[in-house]
């Protein structure tokens, strides 16, 4: 099964599903054959009751029995083939979409925190589970109910109209059920997402909760959210039960009605006893899928909502865009009137930031907390995009460069360093499956972390536990710095790199930055400590999202000392 669609007017999700269309056609064809074979049982009943019993011909009975046994065996084989095909299609579908959605989930998490980012992977599982379940087979069998309906008309017009009337009633109930339950199920899913987001948020802040005895308050807040989930879920389930019981009653009435009508027609000489049994069986097969479909409607609604959520995210995936594969860069950076606004409030986070930095220069960005420094760092590494303005790397618009090629030229140390479960070697090598050991050692030495790592129980093969839980803050900071230096990046963005470092670590950081300059690496450092200023070529000062000053270190320090600016005085005090 290959996804060879070249029409990018479809989203990746739609293209993947369309690539399955041949399999779906075969499954529908299997369904048609199966439903034809299901006529064997009622035909057998009619022939035995109407002909064999009256003629007493044992050979005919044996022949009919052999035929229907073969039909049952063939039915089982085709049903198995159809289920296997759906199972393979579901697995293939998941493989095709999982990488894109995982990538998108991680990308969203870099700017928006919460469980909604991973919901798209759960949505993918919901769609896959629906594809490989019996529910999709039942829904795909609904059109073939017409075969049984036409057969009932063939037996007798009155019987056919009775079945048609019953089908219309069931379809009407199904539509009403969808109108009522779809909104309830959607609301329940939204409430569940809020509840799970709160759980993840609480887990993330577990230390604070335990330290300050916040658990009762946290549980109280979570229970309020969870009670809403229980209420909507209970209402949804009860509504489903009501419609299910209504369907059962109608089905039972229709089964009695077809038997009674058949008996009446037999008394009138227009029907036979065998036809009564056959019509009852056919009525069950004609209306059975409608009953089961309504009972499994919740699964269908969940699948549909998952599809809509994923498809909406996929619309933002620009498959038509031809991005530049920039294998090597010099490290020139230009910001042209960059602005970012808060999506909720509309207020500026950064406004009209404009500067140029030559490759090999060291820029130190300072400013008070909340001034937009970290937002600027995220822009420079491509995590987020500006609301307006252009970021150019070597004269090329950053958004036109392939993320994979740009990322290989970037070293980034975020404000909050997070590591992965695994060894120190794997973490420095950016979780590469087959890392170059020499390059890892080189990066660790550049970051001044080599001796510290060798002092650990297993050196570079030390397992650091979940998210580096076995390491101190300073150790994580230095391993994160080594990861940033891995593969000799041409641009290094360090956000508060000395936040968790002691005096020895601070000195190692200064040496690392100075060494980076000798390699013509462009370095941008965000820091509150004035020790970093000693290695700066240029200084940028950001205040309330505005670039208030940018220039050579000595010029900036002189200007600020002359103006006696209180805001920056502590950051620029003499070393």
Per-residue model confidence as pLDDT tens digits over 249-296? 888 898 889 889 988 888 888 888 888 888 888 888 888 777 777 667
What is the model's pLDDT at position 277?
A: 83
What is the model's pLDDT at position 570?
A: 47
Q: What does the alpha-carbon distance between residue 52 and residue 46 come to, in Å, rounded to a whole number? A: 9
Structure confidence by residue, pLDDT tens digits, 556-566? 887 777 665 54
Total H helices, total E strands in the chain:
22, 10
Give the number of other CB atoms < 10 A from CB of residue 4. 7
> In Å, what is the CA distance from 77 to each residue of 27, 144, 523?
13, 19, 66
Phi, psi of 413 (to 5 degrees): -115, 105
CB 3 within 8 A of CB 96: yes
Helix (H) or strand (E) holding 495, with range, is: strand 491-495
> In Å, what is the CA distance from 41 to each residue of 69, 137, 164, 277?
10, 21, 21, 10
Q: What does the alpha-carbon distance between residue 28 and residue 441 come to, in Å, rounded to a whole number? A: 59
What is the model's pLDDT at position 112?
A: 55
State the DSSP code for 393.
Answer: E
3-state SS string for 140-158: HHHHHHHHHHHHHHHHCHH
Give the number of other CB atoms < 10 A from CB of residue 509. 26
What is the reported pTM? 0.64
- Of 438, 439, 404, 433, residue with least CA distance to 420: 433
Name the token pair of 344.
Answer: 């909720």
- Of 7, 11, 75, 9, residue with least CA distance to 40: 75
Distant-in-sequence, close-in-space partners of 428: CB < 8 Å, separation ≥ 6: 435, 440, 443, 444, 460, 479, 482, 483, 486
Name the token pair of 546.
Answer: 């505005």
Q: What does the alpha-carbon distance between residue 77 and residue 75 come to, in Å, rounded to a whole number? A: 5
3-state SS class at 417: coil
Name the token pair of 212.
Answer: 């300050």
Q: What angle do CA 26, 32, 37 make, to 5 degrees?
A: 125
State the DSSP code for 401.
Answer: B
What is the rounded average pLDDT for all residues in the chain? Answer: 80
Structure confidence by residue, pLDDT tens digits, 339-387? 888 777 778 888 888 889 898 899 998 888 878 888 888 888 888 888 8
Q: Render 177-236 in DSSP notation, one character per residue.
A: HHHHHHHHHHHHHHHHHHHHHHHHHHHHTHHHHHHTT-HHHHHHHHHHHHHHHHHHHHHH
Q: What does the alpha-carbon distance between residue 247 and residue 294 come to, in Å, rounded to a whole number? A: 8
Q: Which mean pLDDT values do the consecutive 10-residue runs of the chain (575 residues) have?
A: 52 81 85 83 80 79 88 89 87 83 69 58 83 79 80 88 87 79 77 79 71 76 84 80 84 88 87 83 80 72 81 62 70 88 79 88 86 85 85 85 78 84 86 83 86 87 80 84 87 83 77 86 83 84 86 82 56 44
What is the model's pLDDT at position 208?
A: 67
CB 192 within 8 A of CB 185: no
Q: What does the alpha-carbon distance between residue 30 and residue 266 come to, in Å, rounded to a whole number? A: 35
Instruction: Name residue, tokens 């293939």.
Output: 92
Q: Render 274-302 in DSSP notation, one character per residue.
A: HHHHHHHHHHHHHHHHHHHHHHTHHHHHH
Q: What does the alpha-carbon distance between residue 374 and residue 372 come to, in Å, rounded to a whole number? A: 6
CB 381 within 8 A of CB 438: no
């Amino acid at each position: 099964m290959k996804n060879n669609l070249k029409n990018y007017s479809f989203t990746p999700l739609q293209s993947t599903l369309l690539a399955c269309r041949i399999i779906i056609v075969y499954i529908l064809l299997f369904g048609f054959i199966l439903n034809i074979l299901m006529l064997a049982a009622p035909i057998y009943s009619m022939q035995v009751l109407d002909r064999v019993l009256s003629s007493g011909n044992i050979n005919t009975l044996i022949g009919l029995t052999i035929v229907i046994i073969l039909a049952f065996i063939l039915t089982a084989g085709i049903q198995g083939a159809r289920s296997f095909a759906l199972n393979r299609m579901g697995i293939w579908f998941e493989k095709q979409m999982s990488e894109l959605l995982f990538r998108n989930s991680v990308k969203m998490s870099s700017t928006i925190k919460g469980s909604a980012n991973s919901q798209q992977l759960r949505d993918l599982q919901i769609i896959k589970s629906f594809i490989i379940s019996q529910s999709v087979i039942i829904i795909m069998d609904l059109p073939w109910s017409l075969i049984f309906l036409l057969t009932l008309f063939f037996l007798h017009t009155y019987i056919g109209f009775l079945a048609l009337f019953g089908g219309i009633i069931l379809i009407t109930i199904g539509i009403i059920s969808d109108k009522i339950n779809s909104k309830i199920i959607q609301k329940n899913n939204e409430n569940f997402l809020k509840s799970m987001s709160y759980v993840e948020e609480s887990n993330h802040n577990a230390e604070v909760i335990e330290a300050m005895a916040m658990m009762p308050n946290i549980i109280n807040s979570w229970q309020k959210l969870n009670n809403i989930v229980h209420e909507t879920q209970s209402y949804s389930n009860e509504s489903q039960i009501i419609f299910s019981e209504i369907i059962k009653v109608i089905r039972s009435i229709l089964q009695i009605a077809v038997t009674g009508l058949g008996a009446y027609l037999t008394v009138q000489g227009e029907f036979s006893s065998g036809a009564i049994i056959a019509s009852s069986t056919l009525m069950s097969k004609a209306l059975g899928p409608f009953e089961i479909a309504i009972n499994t409607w919740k699964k269908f609604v969940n699948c549909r909502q998952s599809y809509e959520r994923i498809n909406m995210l996929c619309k933002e995936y620009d498959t038509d865009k031809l991005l530049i594969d920039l294998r090597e860069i010099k490290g020139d950076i230009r910001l042209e009137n960059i602005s970012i606004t808060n999506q909720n409030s509309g207020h500026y986070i950064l406004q009209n930031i404009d500067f140029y930095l030559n490759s090999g220069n060291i820029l130190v960005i300072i400013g008070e907390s909340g001034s937009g420094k970290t937002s600027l760092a995220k822009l420079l590494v491509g995590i987020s995009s500006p609301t307006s303005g252009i970021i150019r790397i070597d004269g090329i618009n950053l958004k036109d460069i392939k993320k994979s090629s740009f990322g290989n030229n970037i070293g980034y140390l975020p404000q909050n360093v997070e590591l992965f479960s695994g060894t120190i070697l794997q973490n420095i090598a950016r979780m590469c499956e087959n890392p170059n050991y020499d390059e890892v050692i080189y990066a660790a030495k550049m970051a001044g972390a080599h001796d510290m790592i060798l002092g650990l129980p297993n050196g570079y093969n030390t397992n650091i536990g979940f998210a580096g839980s076995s390491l101190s803050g300073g150790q994580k900071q230095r391993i994160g710095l080594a990861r940033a230096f891995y593969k000799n990046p041409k641009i290094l963005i360090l956000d508060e790199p000395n936040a968790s470092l002691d005096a020895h670590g601070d000195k190692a950081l200064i040496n690392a930055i100075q060494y980076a300059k000798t390699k013509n690496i462009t370095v941008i450092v965000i820091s509150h400590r004035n020790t970093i200023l000693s290695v700066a070529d240029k200084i940028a000062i950001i205040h309330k999202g505005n670039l208030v000053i940018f220039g050579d270190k000595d010029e900036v320090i002189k200007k600020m000392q002359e103006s006696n600016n209180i805001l920056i005085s502590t950051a620029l005090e003499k070393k």
